[in-house]
Amino acid sequence: MKAIPEEERPYEKCLSGGAASLSDAELLAVILRTGVRGESALELSRKVLAGGEGGQGLLGIYHMSVSDLQKIRGVGKVKAVQLKCIAELSSRIARTQASLKLSFHDPASVAEYYMEEMRHQEQEILRVLMLNSKGMLIHDEIASKGTVRASLISPREIFISALRHLAVSIILIHNHPSGIPDPSREDILLTRRVMEAGRLIGIELLDHIIIGDRQAVSMREQGILQEGEN
C-alpha cells in the first residue's frame, strides 16, 4: 500500500470521503488488510473481483465456494472465509432492512424480504409461508429444491405441513435462476393445483410470488389466481 499515493489509499480515502467513496476493490482491500509478496491488498482485491464466474465482481464472491476462492493466488483459507462472511453479512443486512416494511398482504414487500436470499440460488427453490388468522407468519419451510414442477410437487405434502402448523392461509414463493420471473406454464399449473386443494380443506392460497434478479412477479396481481377461480 505504501507505493500508492496517500490520498488514494483505501483507509485514508474512507476517512476523508466516507466508505461510499471507495470502489468495490478498495472496500475489499480494507477488509482483507494484506496482500501477498509483490502484490498489495488492493491488487489482490481486484483479482478476487475478476475471479468469479464471468467476472461478476461482488456477486461472484457470493457464488464462489471457499475452495473456489482459494484457487486465486494470495487467497488462503482465512481470506476465503472472510470473503464468504462478507457476502453473507451483506445479504443479511439487506434482509433486515427489508423486514422493517414486510407485510404479507403486500407482494412487493414479501419479494423484497426474500430477494437477497433467493435470487442468488443456482437451482429453483419453492418456499411455503404459513400464516395465522391475523396474517402473521407462523412457519416458513422449503417444500422443494431442484426443479419446481407441478408433476413433482404434491399439494398434499404442502398442506399436511400447513395443517400441522395450524395455518389459515399460505403464500408460495420460488425463484427463477434465469433471473426472469415470468410465470411458466408449470408455475401456473402448480399454483392452480395448490389453490384448488387449499379451497377443499379451508386453507387459502394468498399468492404465488416468483423471484428473479432484482425483480419479482405476483400471480395474484397478474390475475392468475382469479382466473383459476372462474
Q: 162-186, pLDDT tens digit by residue?
A: 999 999 999 999 999 999 999 999 9
Decide: 29 and 45 in contact? Cβ < 8 Å.
yes
As a whole number of angstroms, the distance between CA 70 and CA 76 comes to 5
Place of cell 486465486: 72
User: What is the rounded average pLDDT of the residues 28-41?
Assistant: 85
User: What is the rounded average pLDDT of the residues 39-65?
Assistant: 79
As a whole number of angstroms, the distance between CA 210 and CA 157 comes to 20
- Name which of 12-16, 52-56, 151-155, 163-167 the model is least confident about: 52-56
As a whole number of angstroms, the distance between CA 28 and CA 154 comes to 45
Beta-carbon contacts of 72 under 8 Å, excluding residues fewer than 6 positions away, are: 47, 48, 51
What superfamily would CATH give domain 101-229? Cytidine Deaminase, domain 2 (3.40.140.10)
pLDDT level of residue 91 (50, 70, 90 thresholds)? confident
pLDDT attached to residue 229: 47
As a whole number of angstroms, the distance between CA 34 and CA 181 comes to 41
Decide: 148 and 124 in contact? Cβ < 8 Å.
yes
Task: State the burial class of residue 83 (Cβ atoms within 10 Å of its Cβ: 0-12, 13-18, 19+).
Answer: buried
pLDDT level of residue 192 (50, 70, 90 thresholds)? very high
The pTM of this model reads 0.67
